[in-house]
A and B are shown apart, each in its own frame.
Chain A
Amino acid sequence: MVTGTADGRFSPRTYVVGPLPVQIEKGDFNRDGALDLAILCIGAGGAQGQQVAIMLNNGAGVFVTAPVLGLATADAAARFAVGDFNGDAWPDLAVLEPGAAQIRIGINKATALAGQFGFYERAGPIPAGFGARLIDAGRFDADARDDLIIVRTLSSARGAAAVLLARGEDFLAAGNAEFPLNPTCLVVHPIDRNGTLDCAVGGAAGGAGAACVIPGDGAGNLGAPALFALPECPAYIDAGDLDGNGTGDLVLVQSASRELVSVLVRDGEAPLPVFLRGDANGDGRLDVSDAVKSLRVLFAADPTDCAEALDVNRDGKLDISDSVYLLAYLFRAGPPPPWPFPFPGSVTPAQSLGCERVPGGPGA
């Protein structure tokens, strides 16, 4: 763990975990307000071997060394994703096991006791399809549950992505998209500015590399991939708004040539306002001051620069139910706000009550 400091430096702290850790993700698994870590170890032996293990954060960036078992797996090619699949606001786990072409779901056993949590496995794995190798989670439709996206290798020059929409503890097959590359890396992020979640895939193509952006439509469907070429197959991909225009841009690691390639994404439109739903005061986070600000806007004629951010339950109007929704999320384990949350993002003007926050601002 490496903590950042205000002057841009980092202070490392080392923890020993199980054998062969290969993947790390974050989530507030015990809902104490501090981000915890989930780590996949694929080596056999040791208390943390061959499992996704949870390391709890004490809130100061110090992690408890005794891990909590998330989900065991004996598949050395396993990958996992963190998401709230059943909509109870507690992060769950999805482990993709390519060897058995299946996904196993670990549901977080939400309890009202602070710090107490655990996982039970959903009865029966979910078929992932032949060649499945990458998994991630995010809200590909409009409900308050995270969905899954699975990326498969179809051939040495072809791959496919498929969305599985969460429905309670079940998953419904939704959008599919094929693309002319053999996938190696995946990121889920809003990339165009239509207010929905998209994904980007990097991989091998014709002896070189390529990446594609696959737009989501907000209903679980995937659009036509937009492709661009790279001189080398990328090993890793991430996305974020590098130039402040409201689109998600890409960075890709090319290991052999020791290069980082960054690619700006354009979608031909003027920048849309970017905000975090529920962030009434525009400070970039959700806390009780946002509920207070919302009430002041409603009852004390306080001005707001982003009425859409105050519509916490996204019912298209501002009323006291928005503050109630936010307080329930903050203090009663209620459902999280709909898109854009937990990342800042945009909604189309036709869907918006109005917002004037510029991309790259504090709330963005």
Chain B
Amino acid sequence: MRPILAWAAACLFAAAPARAAIEFGEPASLSLSFAGGAMPLAARLAPAPGAALLDVIVSSSGYPAYYACYMGNGDGTFGGLRASGMLQTEAVDLVVGDFNGDGIADFAAVNRIGLG
């Protein structure tokens, strides 16, 4: 665990009341690097093609905005970049679904100047 995560977790867990059954594993971080220093704005989990794992699709700020799909490793972490590309601008929200009925996850994003 990164030091700042460990510090923050220790502070909050110490102050938290006794919990019921829900517990959390150690957080894992994935560094998101978009061209032009764009910031990540939204992320949605999506079924990986042909596998029982979840990938994550992340959209970014900026003009142009970008998306990146990272492969899930099945253990809570994400590995290699499956796909990436450009959107319009400021992709502030995402939705995942099978929009063309081929059994493969698609996504739609809203951008400040349109829908990509």
Contact = CB atoms under 8 A, between A and B. Distances in A.
A361 B52 contact: yes
Interface stretch (A10-18, A96-104, A289-297, A299-307): A10-18
Given A244-B74, A258-B31, A226 B4 contact: no
* Majority-rule SS of B interface residues: mixed
Contact of B11 (A20, A55, A60, A229): A229
B23 A242 contact: no
A1 B108 contact: yes
A180 B17 CA distance: 11
A22 interface: yes
Q: Which of B32, B49, B99, B104 has the most CB of A within 10 A?
A: B99
B76 to A, nearest CB: 4
B33 A265 contact: no
B112 A21 contact: yes
Interface string B78-109: 10001101111000111101111110111111
B26 to A, nearest CB: 8
A256 B16 CA distance: 26
Given A226-B22, A229-B13, A251 B56 contact: yes
Contacts of B54: 240-242
A25 interface: yes
A15 B28 contact: no
Interface of B: 2, 4-5, 8-9, 11-13, 15-17, 19-34, 39-46, 48-50, 52-54, 56, 58, 61, 67, 69-72, 74-78, 82-83, 85-88, 92-95, 97-102, 104-116
